C-alpha cells in the first residue's frame, strides 16, 4: 500500500511536470499593463501546486514509519480487473476497423460467456439484442451514426429502409 | 404571493403529459440505478446523460433531476435487502435497515425508507422553493470577482470540511482545474496543452468524458474488485396491512424526520458535504436524541428514517446553489450543470429572469418527481427484489457498453472513448489510493468559470489583485475561503499541541 501510494505520488509529479512543460509554451507570467496572467499561467501554476502536493505526499510517506498495512491490489481480483481493461482496449481498437457493430457484440460475447460464465441463451439474447437497441436508439431515433468500419455497405439497405 | 404564481406556472409545465411521463420514466430508471449496488445517482446521471438527447433540453434536465431523485430513493433498497449500500449516500441506512431485514421486517424497513425519503424530499423542496428566488436576487449583483471568490469558496470547503486527506484533495482540485484548461486559451484563443498533438484536445476535455470515465468505467472496475461473491437477497413482500402499520409507525417520527430534512438540506448545499455526510450526521443525531437510542444498530425504524430523510433533503439542497449561483453542491449536480451548459442553458441568477418557464418547471417537477418516486418505489418492490438477483456480470457488461457508446455519442469522436478508458483506469487507481473523486469532477466543470472570472477581473482592474478583496461580497467569500483552507492546519496544530501536553504529563 505504501509503495503504491509512493508510485502514484511520483506519477502525479511526473504528470505535472509534463503539464508544466506544455503550459510554458504560452506566457506564464504577469502581463503587466494589459492586466492579469498570461494564457499558460493557469495550467502552469496549478500543475506546480500538484507537483508540490504530490511531493508532500511522497515526503510524508518516507517520514512516517507506518507499517505497511494490506496490499494495494487484491491478488484474487487483480486478474479480473486487468482482463476487463484489456478487453475494453481491444474493443475500442477494433471499432475504427470493424465498426461498433462488430466490436461491441464481441465484447459482450467475451464478457458474458467467458468472463461471466453465463449460459448461451442469456449471452446470445444480450449479444444480439444490444446492437439492435443501439441502432434503433442512436441511429434511427437520435440520428447519431456509430462508426461502422468495413461493415458500412451492410447498412446501406437499412438506412434506405429507415430514412 | 408572486412565488405561488411562479410555482403555478411551473406546474402548468411540469404537469403536461410529456413531462409527467418523463418524470415517471426518470424516477423509475433512477430507482433501479440507485438500487443496484455500486451505482448511485452520480453514476446514473453520468451514464444516462448522453441518452437524454432524445428529449428537448428543458425536459432533459427534468429527466436527469428525476433520475437523481429516484436514485436517492433506490439507494435504500439494496441497503436493506442486500446489506450493501446501493450508493454511498445510503451507507447509514444499512446500520438499521439490514438488521430489520434479518428480523423479517424488510417490508417495514422499505416502507420506512420510502416514506422518510418522501418527507425529506417534500420538506426540502419547499425550502428550495422559498430560498431559490431570494438567493438568485442576491446573486444578480455578482460580477466576475464574486464569481471567482465563490468558486474558490466551493473548493476550499473540500479542503476544510471534506474529511479526505488534505494534500490529496488539493491535488485532485488542481488536476481538475488543469484539465479544464486543455484546448484553447479563453482570452487569447491560443491552443494550449494539446497533448501528443492530438487534434481531439483542441475542443478541450468534456466533463462528460471525465464523469463517464471515473464514475462509469472506474466504478465498474472498482466494483469488479470488491464484489467477489454475490450477496444474498432478503425476500420482501408488502401488504396493505403492513403499509398501514408502517405509515402509523412513521407518523410517530415527525421530529426525527423534520430535523433530518432541514439539516440535510443545509448540509447538502455545501459542495464538500452532500448527502453521505448529511445522512451519517442525521443518524448520529437521531441516535443521540432518541428515547430508545440503545436500539440503534439493532433494527430501529428511526435509524432508517433519519438518514433517508437527510440524504433526500441533501440532494435537493445541492440543487439550490447549482441553479441559483451556478455553483454545484455535489458531483451529481455538477453533471447536471454541465448538461445544462451543453444544452445552452446557463445556470445562475440570470436563468431565473431569462428562462422563468424552465426554472419553475424544473422546481415544480421536483414535487411531482418526489410523489412519483414514493409511489413507484412502493409499487415496484417485488420487481426490485427480482432485479437485485440479476447477476453482477450482466449489469457490468451493459453499463460498460453504455459508457463506450454514450461517451462517443455527444461529439462522435473515438478520441473521447479512449480518454474515457484512460480516465476510468486512472480514476480507479487514484480512488484505491484514497484520492477523492468529487473535487476532480467539480473542478473540471467549474474550471473555465474560475479562470474566466479571475482573468476578466484582472483585465478590467488593470491587474489590481486587491479588486477581489475590496468588494464587500467577494471579500467575505475570500475570507471564508481562507478560514476553510486553514481549518485542517489549525486542527493538526491543536492535535500536535495536545499530544505534546500529554507527552509532558504522562500521568494525566
| Per-residue model confidence as pLDDT tens digits over B1-12 | 678 888 888 888
**B405 vs A contacts (CB less than 8 Å):** 100, 104, 134, 138, 146
pLDDT mean across residues, chain B = 86
Cα B233 to chain center, whole Å? 27
- Cα end-to-end span (Å), chain A: 56
- Give the number of beta-carbon pairs within 8 Å between A and B: 178
More confident of the two residues A144 and B161: A144
Q: Tell me whether B244 touches chain A (CB under 8 Å).
A: no
- C-alpha cell read off for B371: 410523489
Look up the pTM and report it.
0.86
Q: Is B94 exposed, middle or buried (0-12, 13-18, 19+ CB in 10 A)?
A: buried
Percent of chain A scored above 70 by pLDDT?
93
Chain A interface includes B236 (CB < 8 A): no
Highest mean pLDDT pick, A4-18, A61-75, B331-345, B454-468: A4-18
Q: Mean pLDDT, to the nearest integer, of A54-71? A: 79
Q: How many domains does chain A have?
A: 2
Phi, psi of B162 (to 5 degrees): -60, -30
Is residue A77 pLDDT above 60, yes or no?
Answer: yes
The rounded percent of chain B whose pLDDT value lies above 70 is 97
CB contact under 8 Å between A81 and B428, yes or no, is yes
Phi and psi (nearest 5°) for B165? -55, 125
Q: How confident is the model at residue A34, as a pLDDT?
A: 63
SS (H, E, C) B261-315: HHHHHHHHHCCCCCHHHHHHHHHHHHHHHCCCHHHCCCCCHHHHHHHHHHHHHHH
Chain B residues with CB under 8 Å of A111 CB are: 393, 396-397, 400
Whether the pLDDT of residue B231 is over 70: the answer is: no
Strand partners, B183: B192
Tell if the CB–CB gap between B463 and A76 is shorter than 8 Å.
Answer: no
pLDDT at B507 over 50: no
pLDDT tens per residue, range B141-178: 888 888 899 889 888 888 877 778 889 999 999 999 99
Residues A97 and A50 in one domain: no
ipTM here: 0.92
Task: Tell me which of B233 and A14 has the higher pLDDT.
Answer: A14
Q: Are residues A59 and A137 in the same domain?
A: no
Please list the alpha-helical segments (H only) found in chain A. Answer: 2-23, 41-63, 75-98, 100-109, 120-134, 152-162
- Measured in angstroms, the CA of B411 and the nearest CA of chain A are apart by 9
Which residues make Cβ contacts (< 8 Å) with residue B154, sequence separation at least 6? B271, B327, B442, B446
Instruction: Say if residue A58 is in the same domain as residue A80.
Output: no
Pair (A30, A94) in one structural domain? no
Residues A59 and A81 in one domain: no
Cβ–Cβ contact B404 with A under 8 A:
yes
Interface of B with A in 185-214 (CB under 8 A): 185, 187-188, 190, 192-195
| Number of Cβ within a 10 Å radius of residue A153 | 8
pLDDT tens-digit series, residues B16-28? 888 899 999 999 9
Same-domain check for residues A36 and A96: no
The partner residue sitting opposite B409, judged by closest CB among A8, A37, A144, is: A144
Question: Does residue A90 lie within any of the structural domains?
Answer: yes
| Contact predicate B401/A108, CB 8 Å | yes
Does the pLDDT value for residue A68 go beyond 70? no
Higher-confidence position of B41 and A92: A92
Lowest-confidence pick of A50-54, B231-235, B400-404 = B231-235
Contact yes or no for B458 and A36 at CB 8 A: yes
Among B39-43, B119-123, B451-455, B496-500, the minimum mean pLDDT is found in B496-500
A107 and A153 assigned to the same domain: yes
Average pLDDT in chain A: 87
Same domain, residue pair A57 and A83:
no
Confidence at residue A33, expressed as pLDDT on a 0 to 100 scale: 56
**A33, A42, A56 ranked by CB distance to B451: nearest:** A42
* Residue B468, number of CB atoms within 10 A of its CB: 22
- pLDDT of B462 > 80? The answer is no
Domain that holds residue A8: 2-63
Domain check: are A98 and A157 in the same one?
A: yes
Scanning every residue of chain B, which has its alpha carbon at the shortest distance from the alpha carbon of A110? B397
Residues A122, A81, single domain; the answer is: yes
Cβ pair A61, A72 in contact under 8 A: no
* pLDDT value, residue B508: 38
**By the CB < 8 Å criterion, does B240 face chain A?**
no
Average pLDDT estimate for B300-318: 91
Cβ of B194 within 8 Å of Cβ of A33? The answer is: no
For residue A87, count other CB atoms closer than 10 A to its CB.
Answer: 17
Q: How do residues A90-137 score in pLDDT, each as one tens digit?
A: 999 999 988 899 999 999 999 999 888 888 999 999 999 999 999 988
pLDDT at B375: 92
Q: Which residue of B has its CA nearest to A103?
A: B401
Q: How many residues does chain B have?
A: 508
Q: Which residue in the set A47, A115, A138 is minimally distant from B393, CB to CB?
A: A115
Do A80 and A49 reside in the same domain of the chain? no
For residue A125, is it within any domain? Answer: yes
* pLDDT at residue number B374: 92
Query: Is there a contact between B391 and A116 if contact means CB atoms under 8 Å apart?
Result: yes
At B408-421, the pLDDT tens digits run 988 888 999 999 99
Residue A140 lies in a domain: yes
Residues A14 and A37 reside in one and the same domain? yes
Is some CB atom of chain A closer than 8 A to the CB atom of B431? no
Q: What is the mean pLDDT of residues B346-354?
A: 86
Amino acid at each position: 500500500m505504501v509503495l503504491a501510494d509512493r508510485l502514484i505520488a511520483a506519477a502525479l509529479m511526473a504528470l505535472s511536470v509534463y503539464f508544466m512543460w506544455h503550459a510554458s509554451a504560452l506566457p506564464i507570467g504577469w502581463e503587466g499593463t494589459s492586466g492579469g496572467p498570461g494564457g499558460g499561467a493557469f495550467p502552469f501554476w496549478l500543475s506546480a501546486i500538484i507537483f508540490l502536493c504530490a511531493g508532500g505526499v511522497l515526503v510524508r510517506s518516507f517520514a512516517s514509519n507506518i507499517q505497511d498495512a494490506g496490499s494495494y491490489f487484491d491478488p484474487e481480483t487483480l486478474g479480473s480487473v486487468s482482463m476487463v481493461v484489456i478487453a475494453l482496449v481491444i474493443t475500442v481498437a477494433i471499432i475504427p476497423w470493424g465498426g461498433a457493430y462488430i466490436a461491441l457484440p464481441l465484447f459482450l460475447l467475451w464478457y458474458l460467456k467467458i468472463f461471466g460464465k453465463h449460459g448461451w441463451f442469456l449471452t446470445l439474447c444480450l449479444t444480439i439484442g444490444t446492437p439492435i437497441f443501439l441502432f434503433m436508439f442512436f441511429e434511427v431515433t437520435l440520428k447519431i451514426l456509430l462508426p461502422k468500419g468495413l461493415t458500412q455497405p451492410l447498412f446501406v439497405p437499412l438506412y434506405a429502409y429507415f430514412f | 404571493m408572486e412565488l405561488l404564481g411562479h410555482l403555478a406556472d411551473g406546474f402548468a409545465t411540469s404537469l403536461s403529459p410529456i413531462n409527467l411521463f418523463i418524470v415517471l420514466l426518470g424516477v423509475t430508471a433512477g430507482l433501479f440505478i440507485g438500487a443496484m449496488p455500486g451505482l448511485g445517482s452520480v453514476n446514473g446521471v453520468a451514464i444516462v446523460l448522453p441518452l437524454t438527447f432524445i428529449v428537448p433540453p428543458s425536459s432533459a434536465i427534468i429527466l436527469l433531476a428525476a433520475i437523481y431523485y429516484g436514485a436517492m430513493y433506490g439507494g435504500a433498497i439494496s441497503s436493506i435487502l442486500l446489506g450493501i449500500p446501493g450508493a454511498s449516500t445510503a451507507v447509514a441506512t444499512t446500520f438499521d435497515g439490514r438488521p430489520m431485514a434479518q428480523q423479517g421486517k424488510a417490508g417495514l424497513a422499505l416502507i420506512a425508507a420510502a416514506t422518510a425519503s418522501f418527507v425529506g424530499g417534500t420538506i426540502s423542496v419547499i425550502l428550495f422553493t422559498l430560498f431559490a428566488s431570494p438567493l438568485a436576487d442576491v446573486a444578480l449583483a455578482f460580477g466576475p470577482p464574486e464569481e471567482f471568490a465563490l468558486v474558490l469558496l466551493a473548493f476550499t470547503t473540500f479542503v476544510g470540511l471534506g474529511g479526505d486527506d488534505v494534500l490529496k484533495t488539493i491535488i485532485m482540485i488542481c488536476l481538475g482545474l488543469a484539465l479544464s484548461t486543455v484546448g484553447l486559451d479563453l482570452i487569447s484563443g491560443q491552443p494550449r496543452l494539446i497533448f501528443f498533438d492530438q487534434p481531439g484536445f483542441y475542443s478541450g476535455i468534456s466533463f462528460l468524458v471525465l464523469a463517464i470515465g471515473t464514475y462509469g468505467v472506474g466504478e465498474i472496475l472498482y466494483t469488479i474488485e470488491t464484489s467477489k461473491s454475490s450477496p444474498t437477497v432478503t425476500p420482501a413482500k408488502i401488504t396493505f396491512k403492513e403499509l398501514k402499520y408502517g405509515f402509523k409507525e412513521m407518523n410517530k417520527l415527525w421530529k426525527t424526520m423534520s430535523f433530518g430534512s432541514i439539516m440535510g438540506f443545509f448540509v447538502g448545499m455545501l459542495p464538500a458535504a452532500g448527502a453521505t455526510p448529511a445522512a451519517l450526521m442525521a443518524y448520529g443525531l437521531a441516535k443521540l436524541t432518541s428515547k430508545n437510542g440503545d436500539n440503534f444498530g439493532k433494527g430501529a425504524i428511526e435509524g432508517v428514517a433519519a438518514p433517508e430523510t437527510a440524504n433526500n433533503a441533501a440532494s435537493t439542497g445541492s440543487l439550490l446553489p447549482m441553479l441559483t449561483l451556478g455553483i454545484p453542491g455535489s458531483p451529481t449536480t455538477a453533471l447536471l450543470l454541465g448538461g445544462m451548459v451543453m444544452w445552452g442553458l446557463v445556470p445562475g441568477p440570470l436563468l431565473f429572469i431569462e428562462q422563468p418557464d424552465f426554472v419553475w418547471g424544473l422546481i415544480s417537477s421536483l414535487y411531482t418527481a418526489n410523489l412519483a418516486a414514493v409511489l413507484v418505489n412502493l409499487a415496484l418492490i417485488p420487481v426490485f427484489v427480482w432485479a437485485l438477483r440479476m447477476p453482477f456480470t450482466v449489469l457490468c457488461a451493459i453499463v460498460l457498453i453504455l459508457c463506450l457508446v454514450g461517451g462517443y455519442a455527444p461529439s462522435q469522436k473515438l478520441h473521447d472513448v479512449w480518454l474515457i478508458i484512460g480516465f476510468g483506469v486512472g480514476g480507479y487507481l487514484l480512488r484505491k489510493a484514497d484520492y477523492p473523486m468529487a473535487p476532480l469532477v467539480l473542478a473540471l466543470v467549474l474550471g473555465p468559470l474560475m479562470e474566466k472570472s479571475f482573468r476578466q477581473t484582472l483585465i478590467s482592474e488593470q491587474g489590481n489583485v486587491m479588486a477581489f478583496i475590496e468588494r464587500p461580497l467577494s471579500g467575505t467569500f475570500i475570507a471564508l475561503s481562507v478560514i476553510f483552507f486553514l481549518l485542517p492546519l489549525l486542527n493538526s496544530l491543536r492535535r500536535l499541541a495536545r499530544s505534546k501536553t500529554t507527552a509532558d504529563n504522562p500521568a494525566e
